[in-house]
Amino acid sequence: MRAHHVNDILYTAEQIGERVGGLGDELAAAFGGQDFIAVGILRGSFMFMADLLRAGAARGLHPRIDFIGLESYGDGTESAGEVKLVYDTSLDLEGARLLLIDDILDTGLSLARARRLLAARGAASVHTCVMLDKPSRRQTGIRADFTGFRVDDVFVVGYGLDYAGLHRELPHLSRVVFED
């Protein structure tokens, strides 16, 4: 692991909370009164997903919840290009409306793979929601249906995102600055 610091805050906990509330409003408009399943991509989405679903509950949304685990970064700062399924969903997705939730849409490889996988299981629809969108690194044509913030091409940690397993617990989003 490279020497680094995470003192450069991009979005504070307050800014994140405000935007997650706005996403709750958007989801209520899109899903209000309908059954759906929220599927989080582990591990990065766990903080965002929890806050997002609480915001949705305050607006009358009560989805079933499931998770899928994908891995593409390992301990590095670049996607390996291969997305591995490391944990699978447990709910029957046949005919269900899905909201696929992820921490960051970067290359698009993970979100595209997850969406294809869930659609192939017979989901009626698969909508996507991401906390961060980094369009400058996209390698696929995928776009999120709901987005928290756009970020430049920087490595981001906090609020569920990590570098080599570190910094997920931060309540804010920070840019990683490498010290070499």
pLDDT at 54: 98
Catalytic amino acids?
106
User: In the predicted model, what is the mean pLDDT of the chain?
Assistant: 94
pLDDT at 31: 96
* Helix or strand holding residue 123 (H, E): none
pLDDT at 82: 80
- In the chain, alpha helices (H): 13-31, 46-57, 109-120
Coil, strand or helix: which one is 75? coil
pLDDT digits (tens, 9 = 90+) for 136-168: 999 999 999 999 999 999 999 999 999 999 999
pTM for this prediction: 0.93
Coil, strand or helix: which one is 100? strand
Q: In the chain, what are the domain boundaries?
A: 14-153
Residue 1: pLDDT band (50, 70, 90) is confident
d(Cα 47, Cα 129) in Å, to the nearest integer?
13
pLDDT at 145: 98
pLDDT > 80? residue 78? no
CATH 1.10.10.10 applies to domain 14-153:
no
Residue 80: pLDDT band (50, 70, 90) is low
Measured on CA atoms in the order 143, 148, 152, 157, is the torsion positive or negative? negative
Q: Is-contact 80 40, C-beta < 8 A?
A: no
Report helix angle 13-31 to 46-57, nearest 10.
Answer: 60
